[in-house]
Amino acid sequence: MNEELLSKLSELTEAGKINKALAKGQDGVDEVTKQALDEGVAPDAVLEALVKGMSAIGEKFAQGKAFVPNMLLAARAMNAGMAHLKPFFSSGQVKRKGTFIIGTVFGDLHDIGKNLVAMMVEGSGWEVIDLGVDVKPEKFINAVSQHPGCVVGLSALLTTTMGNMEVVLKSLREKYPTLKIIIGGAPISQNFAETIGANGFATNPQGAVELLNELVA
Ligand code: B12
């Protein structure tokens, strides 16, 4: 029974079925998560099922078989389930993998890709702190100071703001020499990541999740 509920939860998450009102009268992630928890399914098993659904859509997106709207719906469905899990996070019954601080670097206002990465990473079990767009080095430094052991993600979409990525990275490393920083955005390449000394680069949200998992393994 539990298995059935959990696989239903993964499927509903992947399909972006948020709740009854939005899923044509059928139960969505909202209702099924509540049902699973009410029936005594372990919260970490529920989280795992949500993550499985999110990973499935993330992989399809990476392969060009799913698109931005699919990702957005899946993330909203995931969030509907996460709302029921929040009390278990606060009580420490369910542990996060780590904290990921992400932002689009100063001078750059593009955030669609960054938001997708943030949602996918959160959906894979990390706590995500999204600093938004046009983020200056001081704001990153301040956030890192409050979350020891975090990993930072920088996004940039303009060739003119790629350089700002290096400025942010250098400012952070001056204060936190061992801080792990990953980067991404349309103009970014592996070569650029290596040149500025980033710990990794990914072209899509699923890649970002894999990178983060490797960094904390
Ligand atoms: C939407 C858009 C806008 C919107 C942004 C809205 C928003 N809320 O984001 C608006 C209209 C505001 C805008 C403004 C501008 N834009 Co614009 N914009 C785009 C557009 C059409 C799509 C970008 C996008 O969202 N892609 C979809 C997402 C899903 O992809 P993505 O961002 O690459 O993210 C993926 C990966 O890169 C990666 N990723 C992203 N971030 C991160 C971070 C980490 C840590 C990791 C691991 C991975 C990762 O994962 C994401 C998901 O797969 C692109 C053209 C294009 N087709 O790319 C131009 C484009 C980026 N813009 C461009 C330009 C020039 C501008 C403007 C300067 C235009 C102007 N003259 O005003 C301004 C700049 C404003 C500013 N200061 O930032 C140019 C950049 C050229 C260049 N080489 O620098 C482009 C390429 C268009 C073009 N062909 O000329 N833009």
Q: How far is the CA of 113 from the centre of ligand 1 (A)?
A: 8
Nearest atom (ligand 1) to Cα of 109: 78
The pTM for the full model equals 0.87
Q: How far is the CA of 68 from the centre of ligand 1 (A)?
A: 14
| Token pair listed for 94 | 């369910």
Asked if the model's pLDDT at residue 86 lies above 90, the reply is: no
Question: What confidence score (pLDDT) does residue 1 get?
Answer: 62
Residue with CA at minimum distance from ligand 1 atom 46: 184
Ligand 1 pocket list (CB less than 6 A): 68, 107-114, 116-117, 153-155, 157-160, 182-187, 202-205, 208
Q: How confident is the model at residue 165 (pLDDT cuts 50, 70, 90)?
A: very high
Q: How far is the CA of 144 from the centre of ligand 1 (A)?
A: 26
pLDDT tens digits, residue range 10-47? 999 999 999 998 888 899 999 999 999 999 999 889 98
Over its C-alpha atoms, the chain yields an Rg (Å, rounded) of 18
Domains of the chain, start order: 2-90 (1.10.1240.10), 99-216 (3.40.50.280)
30, 39 contact by CB (below 8 A): no
Residue with CA at minimum distance from ligand 1 atom 29: 113
Q: How far is the CA of 70 from the centre of ligand 1 (A)?
A: 19
- Which alpha helices (H) appear in the chain, and where do they start and end? 2-15, 29-38, 43-62, 68-90, 112-123, 137-145, 159-175, 190-196, 205-216
Using CA atoms, how far apart are residues 197 and 179, in angstroms rounded to an integer?
Answer: 11
Asked if the model's pLDDT at residue 91 lies above 80, the reply is: no
For residues 141 and 115, the model is more confident at: 141
Q: How far is the CA of 201 from the centre of ligand 1 (A)?
A: 17
Torsion sign (Cα): 197, 202, 203, 208: negative
